[in-house]
Amino acid sequence: MQFSAAQIAMILSGTVEGNPDATVSAFGKIEEARQGQLSFLANPKYEDFLYGTDASIVIVNASLQLKQPVSTTLIRVPDAYSAFAILLEKYQQLQTQQLNGIQEPVYLHNTAVVGKEVFIGAFAYISEKVVLADGVKIFPNVFIGAGVSIGSNTIIHPGVKIYHNTIIGNNVTIHAGTVIGSDGFGFAPQPDGTYKKIPQTGNVVIEDNVEIGANTTIDRATIGSTIIKAGAKLDNLLQIAHNVEIGNHSVIAAQAGISGSTKIGNNVMIGGQAGIVGHLQIADGSKINAQSGVSKSIITPNTAVTGSPAYDYKAALRSQAVARKLPELEKRIIELEKLIQELLVKA
């Protein structure tokens, strides 16, 4: 598919600077793009590539002041990065919309309800009483357990496993290898030193517009629901334990772990490899730095923490600055002790 600069500018509400009839059919990085490709410039450190790029069209910020003439057609928008993301999303939608029908072999239980324009890839297993709303795309080797409900235009990538009674909203994307609804880690210690498994009878609820990365695991609740609220974005390789709640539009980077029954507020940002113990409350807008270990609730909104155990971000930076000076401070203390000793002797 080809699109002209004029068509792209209309989609993005941008302004064409150059040839409005210039066409593109693919994307490319600004330093590598060729004729017929679309690129973008958002980071100023890549600006020099703009003046030599072979891209046919480049999306740029409206505020960009050119240092020299360019040979490519520009589309000026308020935010080039966001505009490019919109185009990539539309391109991806066009690709997935072309997927329709049921490939063979597929196991589709006769009680499953399948909406319009649904795609089910080969070797998928769709259990009893599953509901697939309009536009759902199920890629090959996906398992969907009994009683699962999946909302419209949701995309389930290859190898995803969704256990029974999970509820998934509209416009959700779940990437390859993720497991949703596996048993929570619940074991009761016994007097003889053994552990008795606590049945995990709840489910997982994933609300609208959530994206979940590859090989992430989200455990079902012991009782009730593990909940991922609307707009949350979860990276690859996360562990979300039973009865956790993740608030609206919160983002969690790779290899983080959240223990059971912890409640994450709205618009929280959690860095990679962070760990949060169970039964905590994390206030709205909190920022948890990468590799932090959070052992206490964060009750004040918009708090930033770092370290293990995690504490106030600015205080942690001051502590780190002091720590770097400890050898010098030790030397000065020794010198002061010698001076005091000499003064006492003279006295």
CB 180: neighbour CB atoms within 10 A?
Answer: 27
**Pairing relationship of beta strands 245-246 and 225-228 according to DSSP bridges:** parallel
The DSSP-derived string for 108-155 is E-TT-EE-TT-EE-TT-EE-TT-EE-TT-EE-TT-EE-TT-EE-TT-E
Three-state DSSP state, 335: helix
Compute the C-alpha angle 122/128/131, nearest 5°: 80
Q: What is the pLDDT of residue 305?
A: 94
Dump pLDDT digits (tens) for 230-278.
999 999 999 999 999 999 999 999 999 999 999 999 999 999 999 999 9
Of 36-50, 179-193, 304-318, which range is least confident? Answer: 304-318
Please give the pLDDT value at position 327: 86
Please report the pLDDT score of residue 173 as a whole number.
97
- Is omega for the bond preceding 44 within 30 degrees of 0, making it cis? no
One of 175, 242, 249, 279 is an active-site residue; which one? 242
Q: Cα 175 from chain centroid?
A: 11
Binning pLDDT at 50, 70 and 90, where does residue 31 land? very high
For range 104-121, the mean pLDDT: 96
Please report where in the chains the tokens 């409005």 appear, as a residue.
20
**Residue 69 neighbours by CB distance under 10 Å:** 6
CB neighbours (10 Å) of residue 204? 25
Range in 74-78, 203-207, 309-313 the model is least confident about: 309-313
Cα gap 89→344, rounded to integer Å? 77
Query: What pLDDT sits at residue 218?
Result: 98
According to DSSP, the β-strands at 195-197 and 187-189 are: antiparallel
Catalytic residue check, 279:
no
pTM of the model: 0.82
Q: Quick check: helix, strand or coil at residue 41?
A: strand
The count of other CB atoms within 10 Å of the CB of residue 303 is 18
Q: What's the pLDDT at 316?
A: 77
